[in-house]
Amino acid sequence: MSDMQDTMLLGLEGIKKTILHGGTGDIPKLITGTKVTFHFRTQLCDDERTVIDDSKVAGTPMEIVIGNMFKLDIWETLLSSLRIGEVAEFWCDTIHTGVYPLVSKSMRRIAEGKDPVEWHIHTCGMANMFAYHSLGYDDLDELMKEPKPLYFVLELEYSRDTWALSDEERLKVVPVLHGHGNKLYKQGHYQQATQKYKEAIICIKNVQTKEKAWEAQWLKLEKMANTLTLNYCQCLLRMEEYYEAIEHTTDIINQNPGVMKAFYLRGKAHVEVWNEAEARQDFSRVLDLDPGMKKAVKRELAVLNMRMEEKNQEDKIKYKVARNGDRCKPSPGYPALSLRK
């Protein structure tokens, strides 16, 4: 094999590992109870390397809890050999791939919104696997009838068991989470992006509590947390959670009144809930802090004017309807006139 130097045997029969992209830091200790998030691609060992499943195409990474009786337990072993951010290809013989069709069916049904998450092995479930003729997917039925060796390409995003990490490890995880959050934001997966940002903020806050408030290291961590919180607020705006965005940006402004982006995002949130005076005030502060934002602020003020005009029109219509409604009501003590003959 030409790339033999890249290939490592894991000391297990029927497994070969090839590193496709190196990761960072040491290999995390995946103890029982650790939540691990990773992407996977499953391929046949044919000339075309036919793809059976790909979590990146599905748009959602996989998440398992180590030691929680995940049906495809060989994946725990494979993941335990990866560094954060590492991408590796594992060739696995049929002794390890027999239950894959069953796991794949569960994952596909969850992605289609048809099934609750259920990764535990139940004896009856394993027996039923052989009792039913079809899994509902032709390619999986083929694999079920005739198990084959498979390639698993795994990419470890991170292990979410942050309480088990040292402070140094927590700070190493932050840029990884930040990067994944940004990627998800660009793909339009705002809810998932907020989770990444939140976890990164928790890592920072855990470390920050051990530092002396307002000293250099504390301030450095505060700045990192604020950057992530503002990214989180951008997601909230996309998700139309305007009041929560106002709350978080206000917290940052109260602590650090010089953060231009906090005023800008709060201004945008105020526009959406028709807080005209507050929005104008925030955008004015943006220009004080960064005159280079003039074009962006002009655009936001145009949106504000349009929103206020819409609201005024709506209010006029409501007022008109209310007044007409009052006018049409019969006076007390007199029967309503009927126009019918």
CATH class, 4-161 region? alpha beta
**Where do we find the tokens 């929680």?**
68
Domains 4-161 and 165-239 belong to one CATH topology: no
Q: Are 199 and 176 in contact (CB under 8 A)?
A: no
Q: What DSSP designation does 28 have?
A: P
Reported as a pLDDT band with limits 50, 70 and 90, residue 34 is confident
Q: What percent of the chain is modeled with pLDDT above 70?
A: 81
Bigger pLDDT: 293 or 65?
293
Which token pair is 328?
């049409």
pLDDT confidence bin for 127, thresholds 50/70/90: very low
Task: Give Cβ neighbours of residue 315 (< 8 Å, ≥ 6 apart).
Answer: none
pLDDT tens for 255-275 read 999 999 999 999 999 999 999
Question: How many CA atoms lie less than 13 Å away from 106 in the CB half-sphere?
Answer: 16
pLDDT in tens, 188-236: 999 989 988 988 898 898 899 899 989 999 999 999 999 999 999 999 9
> 266 to each of 223, 232, 306, how far by Cα in Å?
18, 12, 18
- Where residue 152 falls among pLDDT bands split at 50, 70, 90? very high
187, two tokens = 């793909």
* 91-103: pLDDT as tens digits: 999 999 988 998 8
Give dist(CA 212, CA 102) in Å, integer.
52
Side chain identity at residue 310, one-letter code: E
Residue 9 tokens, joined? 């045997």
pTM of the model: 0.55
Q: H or E segment at 36?
A: strand 35-44
CA-CA-CA-CA torsion sign (312, 313, 316, 322): negative
**Tokens linked to 227:** 């950057």
Q: Give the DSSP per-residue string, 279-330.
A: HHHHHHHHHHH-GGGHHHHHHHHHHHHHHHHHHHHHHHHHHHHHHHHHHHSP
CB 143 within 8 A of CB 94: no
Domains of the chain, by residue range, sit at: 4-161, 165-239, 257-308
Which homologous superfamily is 165-239 in?
A: Tetratricopeptide repeat domain (1.25.40.10)
pLDDT above 50 for 283: yes
In 3D space, the residue among 214, 243, 224, 92 whose CA is nearest the CA of residue 170 turns out to be 224
Instruction: Output the pLDDT for position 68.
Output: 66
Tokens, residue 24: 């960072």
Rounded Cα distance between 39 and 157, Å, is: 7
**Residues 203, 219: Cα–Cα separation, whole Å:** 15
